[in-house]
Amino acid sequence: MNETYRNELVERFLSYVKIDTQSSEEGEGRCPSTDKQLQLARHLTEELKTLRLEEVEMDQHGYVYATLPANTKRNIPTIGFIAHIDTSPDCSATNVRPRIIEAYDGSDIQLNSEVTTHVSLFPELKQHIGEDLIVTDGTTLLGADDKAGIAEIVTAMTYLMGHPEIEHGKVRVAFNPDEEIGMGAHLFDVERFGCQWAYTMDGSEVGELEYENFNAASAKVVIKGRNVHPGYAKGKMINACIVAHEIVEMLKAERPETTEGYEGFFHLTNMAGNVEEATLSFIIRDHDRTRFEERKDRLQQVAATLNDTYGETIATVSIKDQYYNMLEQLRDKPHITAIAQEAIKEACGFCTIVPIRGGTDGAQLSFKGLPCPNIFAGGLNFHGRHEFVPIQSMEKATMTIVNICRITASQS
């Protein structure tokens, strides 16, 4: 990538991250969950029109769609690239002030007088010595998740427009709200998008390709206690908070902080209550569908065991499936991941296939009929003030998109 496109890519990204697009769990039930996401959606709509992409539109929920027309008459599959507009609710995205560290030297990075990104805690920094890093000022997240993906997609489209010698078919792009709260794909119009397959640009480390993710469910446990004056409680009181603690103890062997790779877990996300009533909120995760179903059964069994122990129904469990492993939808379509692998290898010199210890919009979209693996966007340490993105990784992600378009055409 030459200096002109590199500068365009960086300037585009820096302009996006300064727009606060934080989504909110409290806004669940409406889309977008926060009105401020619409500011970036409108900005992108106008930008894509200015760049002379076609069929540019934003719907009432802040989903933005556009088309780069084919530059050949050959019959080439229509493919798409997707990134999300919102940033995580876990850390402030107000007044993001990014800065660039040129030719990073491998030392600790002082973000401000109180916050330092220590290499000992974030050893992934060592993989990017000599590169140019975009970091935060230590008061907010950066927003590379997923504004790096947006900048890469838009820049790849301008690159293809500026290089008509690269043959490609019709390319669709889309930017959606509310991915961080698990709602990004719910109102995504797959039929309107009109692609045979797509890729989300929402991964992390350079060179990574992801087409396996967790099966996911949320669970809520409600515990009904029995309150009695503590001076006369013997043999009568059932303390709902104590029962809640028992449940957590029975599941403590498999938590996010003790698992890795393909290992699943129960993650306690919230607990509240008093003697009379307590609630526990969990998310349940596993790559293997059979083990995933077993985990849901185990939580029900834990509640049943306690009900037997106390001789009455004090614990009830409600479970809601959220998304499933996209591998189920991609296993019989190997060309989709093979094209991505080749494109990444050309851009990076290697391709690392890793399972996602989480989920993406691509997982839900795959089950809606749009096969959709996930490709690196380059950012690291998402959702917090130590987030950073190497500019060189963003360049490689941009060229991966270009390569995918070219390879898809060449193989048709």
- Output the tens digit of pLDDT for each of the chain's 412 residues: 899 999 999 999 999 999 999 999 887 679 999 999 999 999 999 999 999 999 999 999 999 999 999 999 999 999 999 999 999 999 999 999 999 999 999 999 999 999 999 999 999 999 999 999 999 999 999 999 999 999 999 999 999 999 999 999 999 999 999 999 888 999 999 999 999 999 999 999 999 999 999 999 999 999 999 999 999 999 999 999 999 999 999 998 899 999 998 999 999 999 999 999 999 999 999 999 999 999 999 999 999 999 999 999 999 999 999 889 999 999 999 999 999 999 999 999 999 999 988 878 899 999 999 999 999 999 999 999 999 999 999 999 999 999 999 999 999 8
Residue at which a domain ends, from 304, 322, 340: 322
Dihedral (C-alpha) 187, 190, 192, 194: value to the nearest 10 degrees? 160
Residue at which a domain ends, from 322, 347, 366: 322
**98 touches 135 (CB < 8 A):** yes
CATH classification at residue 262: 3.30.70.360
Asked if 201 and 224 sit in the same domain, the reply is no
Closest CA to 32 of 147, 152, 175: 175
179 is catalytic: yes
Residue 269, φ and ψ in degrees, nearest 5: -100, -20
Asked if 147 and 57 sit in the same domain, the reply is yes
* Alpha carbon distance, N-terminus to C-terminus of the chain: 26
CATH classification at residue 39: 3.40.630.10
Residue at which a domain ends, from 322, 345, 366: 322
Asked if 311 and 360 sit in the same domain, the reply is no
105 is catalytic: no
**How far is it, in rounded angstroms, from Cα 91 to Cα 111?**
16
**How far is it, in rounded angstroms, from Cα 183 to Cα 31?**
8
Asked if 161 and 266 sit in the same domain, the reply is no
Structure token pair of residue 16:
């996006």
- Which residues neighbour 213 within 8 Å (Cβ) at sequence distance 6 or greater? 287, 323, 325, 326, 327, 355, 356, 358, 359, 360, 362, 363, 374
Domain that holds residue 309: 215-322
Asked if 66 and 96 sit in the same domain, the reply is yes
Asked if 310 and 262 sit in the same domain, the reply is yes
- Token pair 């585009």 is found at 12
**151 touches 8 (CB < 8 A):** no
**How far is it, in rounded angstroms, from Cα 15 to Cα 44?**
11
Select which of 132, 152, 179, 286 is catalytic.
Answer: 179
Select which of 20, 47, 86, 180 is catalytic.
Answer: 86
**91 touches 141 (CB < 8 A):** yes
Report CA-CA distances (Å) from 124 to 108, 278, 317, 379. Answer: 12, 40, 40, 11
Asked if 342 and 307 sit in the same domain, the reply is no
Asked if 75 and 192 sit in the same domain, the reply is yes
Asked if 292 and 375 sit in the same domain, the reply is no
Asked if 317 and 333 sit in the same domain, the reply is no
Structure token pair of residue 21:
């697009």
The total number of structural domains in the chain stands at 2
Asked if 46 and 171 sit in the same domain, the reply is yes
Residue 157 C-alpha from the chain's centroid: 22
Asked if 314 and 400 sit in the same domain, the reply is no
**61 touches 192 (CB < 8 A):** no
